[in-house]
Structure 1
Amino acid sequence: MTGFLFEITFWLTVPFWALMIFTPKWSVTARIVSSPLIAVPPLIVYTILVAAHLPELWATMSSPNLDTLREFLATSWGAAAIWAQVIAWDLLIGAWMYREGRRLGLHPLLMGPLLAFTIIMSPFGFALFLAVRAFCDRPDRAGTVVTGQ
């Protein structure tokens, strides 16, 4: 069961990522991605994985140290639970990036690859987006990032 939950976690978020990347200007995309409830599917997986292990989870997270965390991650349920948590937070970060990109008027050909990069390497994708955002979040800059006009 743990292996199955691990496998489906990412796939539960794919529809939301697909909306942001492939249909960014569709009004339905904005409505769906504006809700923090998009993180519920991977968080349900997380809850299922940790429900039977709450004492171990609490001990690991309430007094963290490297050895305890390593032992926790060495269990299949622990690694799958952390995966589900990471997938949920990555999706929330991606949704925020999407909304900020729309606010700034960033072109989908810029945002699509940034979001795809964030799926794979979220800290780097997020950092790159923050740099783009800092550059573009000035008067009359956002439209010139892709078009050059």
Structure 2
Amino acid sequence: MTGVLFEITFWLTVPFWGLMIFAPKSRLTARTVSSPLIAVPPLAVYAVLVAGHLPELWATMSSPNLDALREFLATASGASAIWAQVIAWDLLIGAWMYREGRRLGLHPVLMGPLLVLTIVLSPFGFGLFLAVRARCDRANRATSVVTGQ
């Protein structure tokens, strides 16, 4: 069961990534990825994976210890659970990047590869997007967000 859950986790998010990369200007894409509920499928997998290991997971995460975390992650359930969590957060990051890219008017030819890089190596994709965003965003954005002007 754990192996099947591991395998399907990524595939549950593919439709959302596909919309952002291949149909970025569609109203359906904008409406769909504006909701944080897109992360529910991989988080549901996470919940199923950790349900039987909650005491162990709680002990590992509430008192962080490298050896305990390594031991938990060495199990199929632990590795699959962390995978599901990473997939969910990567999707939320990707959705935010998509929305910011649309706000800034970034071309899909730029955003598509950034989103693919985020799928594969999220810290690099996200970091590169932040650099692009900083370069393209207005200098006074912080003030406009606070004042609404």
Does TM, scored on the shorter chain, surpass 0.5?
yes
- Alpha-carbon deviation of 1:122? 0.1
Q: Quick one: distance in 2 between partners of 1:72 and 1:112?
A: 35
Report what 2:76 is aligned to.
76
Q: Quick one: distance in 1 between partners of 2:106 and 2:64?
A: 40
Regions of 4+ moved over 4 Å = none
Q: Aligned AA for 1:96?
A: W
Report what 1:104 is aligned to.
104
Q: Deviations over 1:50-106 (max 9, x none)?
A: 001100000000001110000000010000000000000000000000000000000
- Alpha-carbon deviation of 1:138? 2.5
- Alpha-carbon deviation of 1:19? 0.1
Q: Quick one: distance in 1 between partners of 2:121 and 2:138?
A: 27
Q: Aligned to 1:12, what secondary structure does the other structure show?
A: helix
Q: Quick one: distance in 2 between partners of 1:63 and 1:118?
A: 30
Q: % of aligned pairs identical?
A: 83
Report what 2:89 is aligned to.
89
Please give the root-mean-square deviation of Cα atoms over the aligned residues, in Å: 0.7
Report what 1:51 is aligned to.
51
Work out whether 1:122 is the aligned partner of 2:122. yes
Q: Aligned AA for 1:4?
A: V
- Alignment TM-score, normalising by the size of structure 1: 0.92
Q: Quick one: distance in 2 between partners of 1:99 and 1:65?
A: 37
**Structure 2 unmatched ranges of 5 or more:** 140-149
Q: Quick one: distance in 1 between partners of 2:118 and 2:76?
A: 25
Report what 1:132 is aligned to.
132
Q: Quick one: distance in 1 between partners of 2:30 and 2:40?
A: 17
Q: Aligned AA for 1:34?
A: S
Q: Quick one: distance in 1 between partners of 2:125 and 2:23?
A: 20
- Alignment TM-score, normalising by the size of structure 2: 0.92
Q: Aligned AA for 1:32?
A: T
Work out whether 1:15 is the aligned partner of 2:42. no
Q: Aligned to 2:52, what secondary structure does the other structure show?
A: helix
Q: Quick one: distance in 2 between partners of 1:60 and 1:15?
A: 33
Q: Quick one: distance in 2 between partners of 1:73 and 1:122?
A: 20
Report what 1:5 is aligned to.
5
Q: Aligned to 2:53, what secondary structure does the other structure show?
A: helix
Q: Aligned to 2:16, what secondary structure does the other structure show?
A: helix
- Alpha-carbon deviation of 1:9? 0.2
